[in-house]
Amino acid sequence: MVKRSRTLPHLYLRNNGKKAKYTSASRGGGKTTPPYRNRKEHAEKLERKIGEAIEKARQQLESRLSEIAVGQPGFYLEFEVTKDDANAYSSLADRRKKLELVSVKPSLEQEDIVKATVFVPESATDFFQKKVEQYCNKNNKPSDKLNQKKLEVVAFLFLIDTKLNRFIFLLLLLPGRPKNEKLITRLENVEIGTVESLFTDDFKIFPQNGQAIWWEVWLRRDQLENFQTITERLEITTKSAKLESDKLEIVEFPERIVVLAMANVEAIEQVIKNSDTIAELRIAKDTPSFFFRNNTY
C-alpha cells in the first residue's frame, strides 16, 4: 500500500502504537465518600498552609511592576487534592468570584494525588480561608430526603419501644454534614503557584534556569492582547503577531488560545507574577516556522 504524504506529520505517529485493555469511561461505582478527617485538626492544618501561601501572594502582589503588569491583579495557588471519582478539584473554581481552575496534573511524588492550579483574583484573596472556616464551624442543613429518613426511623422505633424518647430526640437533632466537606477533606496541601505549577508536560524536559526555549503557552480566554503587551514589555519573542492577511498566528480552542514564546524560566515567571494571562505551559515540540505554517487560523 502506497503511503500518502501528510501535511501535518506532527499529528501522526508512525509505528508507535501500543496495545491497551479497554477501560470504561464510566465513573459509576467509584469512590466518592469524603475521606475521614479530624475536623478541627484538618481545618487548622489547612488554615496554616493557606495562610502561608496567601502571605507570599500578598508580597508578590506588592512587588508587581507597574511598567510591566497587565490585566487583573491576582495570583496562582497550587492545591494537592486526593484523587478519586468525586473530582473534587473542580470545586476549586468559582465563576462568581472569577476564580479559574487553569491546570490539573498527576503528582509525581504520590499516585493518589493530583495537583490543581487556580488563578485567584486579588479581590477573592480570602476565598479559600473562608471555605475552610465554614468547614470547621458550620454544617449543611439536612436535606428533606434525610429528614424523611429520620422520621421513618423514629416511627419504626416507636413501634418497637415507646420508651426510647430520649434516643429519638437526639436522632432528630443530628446535624448535617460539614459545610464544604467534599472539597476541604480532599485537600492535602496548598502552595503559591509557580512556573512549575502551570507546566503540564513531562517534567524531565523542564528547562534549566537561564535556558531560553520555545514554550507552548496556553492562554486564558480573551487574554491574547494582554499577553502580547506584557511580552513586548519584557522583550520576549512570540509568534502571535498579525500577518499581512490580518490573521493571527495562533491555535484557538473554546477556552484557550495557544501561542509560542521564546523565553527562559525567569522571564515566564515575570509574566505569571505580573499578569493573569497564562493557564498552562508546555514545551513546543516543533520549530515555530513549521508549527505556524501548518496551523494558522
Asked if pLDDT for residue 26 goes beyond 50, the answer is no
CA distance 221 to 133: 32
Q: Where are the domains of the chain?
A: 34-140+177-193, 145-172, 197-297
* 229: Cβ contacts below 8 Å, ≥ 6 apart: 70
Q: Which three cell numbers stand for residue 275?
A: 499578569
- Residue closest to 288 by CA, chosen among 90, 20, 49, 10: 10
Span 121-129, average pLDDT:
97
User: pLDDT digits over 242-295, tens only?
Assistant: 444 444 467 888 889 999 999 999 999 999 999 999 999 999 986 545 444 544
Q: Decide whether 34-140+177-193 matches 197-297 in CATH topology.
A: yes
Rounded to the nearest integer, the mean pLDDT of the chain is 82
CA distances from 173 to 67, 137, 221 (A): 59, 17, 48
C-alpha–C-alpha distance, residues 291 and 285, integer Å:
9
Q: How far apart are CA 279 and CA 71, in angstroms?
A: 14
CA 89 to chain centre: 7
Strand partners for 82 = 113
- Hey, what CATH topology would domain 34-140+177-193 get? Alpha-Beta Plaits (3.30.70)
Cα separation, 44 vs 76, in Å, equals 22
- How far, in Å, are 78, 89, 211, 261 from residue 81 at the CA level? 10, 7, 31, 30
C-alpha grid cell, residue 277: 494571562
Q: Read off the pLDDT of residues 188-222 as tens digits, 9 standing for 90 and up.
A: 999 999 999 999 999 999 998 789 999 999 999 89
Query: What CA–CA distance (Å, rounded) separates 277 from 68?
Result: 13
**Can you tell me the mean pLDDT for 44-64?**
97
- The C-alpha cell 516556522 sits at 289
What number does CATH give the domain 197-297? 3.30.70
Q: Assess whether pLDDT exceeds 70 at residue 7.
A: no
Distance CA 269, CA 197 (A): 11
CA distance 196 to 234: 20
Rg (C-alpha) for the chain, rounded Å, is 25
Greatest mean pLDDT among 27-36, 236-245, 267-276: 267-276
Q: Which pLDDT score is estimated for 29?
A: 45
- What is the mean predicted confidence (pLDDT) over 70-95? 92
